[in-house]
């Protein structure tokens, strides 16, 4: 269900999103992502976690497990969409980020205190699982806040602004992580170097929670919820009855399968460059988010010019190109694959953003929760990448990612274009 948008105001029932709301909520979104990206080395559960588990003595499959656990935890938004009334949707974003802060602090303590490596690995994996829940809830309800508090044009403009400039914060955070992990601070030996990264992540997550208290939303009339089983059945029936929602869900799952090879990309540095993953993890994150800034501008410009579907197509093409690059290009040039993958990661924002135009305010959180179920379906993918690597070598993993990206691209091209795309066609 699409809302009428005149470029300045957007109606939801009898209420109106004003330009002031667009700006206020857009800047809160921008600020939140500055903090998300500063904490990126630990809030993005893949590269640093894989390097940490590898350093703790885990196998390749086990080193990929935190990323799998993170994706599996994404089932939670569906339960929350059943229980959380509309008046508490903003507070849900706040609470989810406070939970993330608590998880990051638990890893900090496990690394700081003199405990065994098995316990440390278990805490890192547990953080991946529970942060998968808190992160998915935060993302679903942040997008619901944008759906209730911004116009589609306002979202496109602020996504362009946000994902052009805030990845610079991730570059700063990643280069800082590289400095710390390569003993730039002599007083910080292993494992205290990793512990510092988790402490920074804790502070940033608290900051996101505080910023999120300021979202201004249009009111939505409360409605009586059915019992859980009936709610799930009715929600799924309603979702699958809309063909574009089903196509979007399948494409999103395949996109996630492709991007789940990121932690395996990190482990490949030992074979490709003869260096330990830990030594390059900060540089990798800097490349990842440096090109994400460039991708953020280009994808945002595409959204403003051609509508919500075009950046979805772009992100699928980018993650597919990353797999092909890693598969074919040797030496240090291989690291460019992390930049392509970083830009393609913005699909995690543009797929759900496209979903907003297909959803009413009443069903926005529910549909965001249902599309988030693509991530637990894809949660086995990092372990699959690890399995393929152990049996057939890293290039088997890259080939697998290329195939799933092509499949996602075929599906995305079947999605209905926005009215802007239709006019320009």
Domain segments of the chain as ranges: 15-424
pLDDT tens for each residue of 366-421: 899 899 888 778 778 877 888 888 888 888 888 999 999 999 999 999 998 865 44
In this model, does residue 209 exceed pLDDT 70?
Answer: yes
Cβ(143)–Cβ(155) under 8 Å? Answer: no
pLDDT of residue 10: 42
| Cα three-residue angle 93-150-347, rounded to 5 degrees | 70
35 vs 205: CA distance, rounded Å? 7
DSSP for 232-292, please give it.
Answer: HHHHHHHHHTSHHHHHHHHHHHHHHHHHTTHHHHHHTHHHHHSS-HHHHHHHHHHHHHHHH
pTM of the predicted model, to two decimals?
0.76
> Based on the number of CB atoms within 10 Å of its own CB, is 87 exposed (0-12), middle (13-18) or buried (19 or more)?
exposed
- Topology given in CATH for the domain delimited by 15-424: Growth Hormone; Chain: A; (1.20.1250)
DSSP for 177-194, please give it.
Answer: HHHHHTTSSTT--TTHHH
SS3 content of the chain, % helix, strand, coil (to 5): 80, 0, 20
pLDDT tens for each residue of 238-295: 999 999 999 999 999 999 999 888 777 777 887 777 777 667 766 777 788 788 889 9
pLDDT tens for each residue of 297-338: 999 999 988 888 999 999 999 999 999 998 888 888 888 998
Mean local confidence (pLDDT), 348-367:
88
In this model, does residue 107 exceed pLDDT 70?
Answer: yes
308 vs 302: CA distance, rounded Å? 8
pLDDT tens for each residue of 141-176: 999 999 999 998 899 999 999 999 988 887 788 788
pLDDT of residue 73: 67
Q: Extract the tokens encoding 68.
A: 């799998």
CA 422 to chain centre: 29
244 vs 241: CA distance, rounded Å? 9
Mean local confidence (pLDDT), 89-116:
94
Residue 397 has, within 13 A of its CA and on its CB side, a CA count of 28
pLDDT tens for each residue of 67-96: 766 766 677 888 888 989 999 999 999 999
In this model, does residue 4 exceed pLDDT 60?
Answer: no
């Amino acid at each position: 269900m699409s809302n009428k948008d005149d470029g300045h105001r957007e109606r939801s029932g009898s209420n109106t999103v004003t330009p002031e709301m667009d700006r206020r909520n857009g800047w809160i979104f921008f600020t939140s992502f500055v903090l998300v990206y500063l904490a990126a080395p630990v809030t993005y559960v893949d590269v640093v976690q894989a390097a940490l588990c590898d350093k703790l003595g885990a196998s390749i499959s086990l080193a990929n497990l935190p990323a799998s656990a993170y994706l599996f935890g994404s089932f939670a938004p569906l339960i929350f969409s059943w229980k959380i009334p509309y008046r508490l949707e903003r507070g849900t974003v706040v609470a989810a980020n406070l939970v993330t802060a608590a998880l990051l602090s638990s890893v900090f303590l496990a690394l700081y205190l003199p405990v065994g490596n098995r316990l440390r690995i278990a805490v890192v994996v547990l953080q991946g699982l529970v942060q998968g829940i808190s992160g998915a809830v935060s993302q679903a309800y942040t997008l619901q806040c944008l759906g209730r508090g911004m116009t589609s044009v306002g979202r496109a403009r602020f996504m362009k602004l946000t994902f052009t400039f805030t990845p610079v914060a991730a570059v700063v955070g990643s280069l800082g992580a590289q400095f710390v992990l390569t003993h730039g601070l002599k007083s910080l030996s292993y494992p205290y170097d990793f512990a510092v990264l988790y402490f920074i992540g804790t502070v940033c997550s608290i900051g996101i929670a505080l910023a999120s208290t300021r979202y201004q939303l249009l009111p939505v009339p409360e409605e009586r919820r059915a019992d859980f089983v009936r709610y799930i059945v009715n929600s799924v029936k309603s979702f699958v009855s809309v063909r574009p929602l089903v196509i979007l869900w399948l494409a999103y799952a395949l996109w996630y399968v492709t991007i789940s090879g990121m932690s395996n990309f990190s482990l490949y540095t030992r074979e490709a460059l003869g260096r330990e993953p830990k030594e390059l993890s900060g540089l990798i994150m800097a490349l990842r988010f440096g090109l994400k800034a460039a991708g953020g501008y280009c994808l945002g410009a595409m959204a403003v010019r051609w509508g919500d579907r075009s950046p979805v197509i772009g992100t699928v093409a980018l993650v597919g190109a990353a797999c092909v690059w890693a598969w074919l290009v040797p030496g240090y040039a291989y690291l460019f694959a992390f930049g392509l993958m970083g830009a393609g990661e913005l699909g995690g924002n543009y797929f759900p953003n496209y979903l907003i135009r297909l959803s009413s305010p009443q069903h926005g959180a529910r549909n965001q929760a249902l599309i988030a179920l693509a991530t637990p379906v894809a949660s086995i993918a990092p372990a699959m990448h690890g399995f393929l690597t152990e049996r057939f070598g890293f290039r088997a993993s890259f080939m697998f990612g290329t195939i799933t990206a092509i499949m996602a691209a075929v599906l995305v091209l079947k999605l209905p274009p926005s009215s802007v795309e239709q006019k320009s066609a």
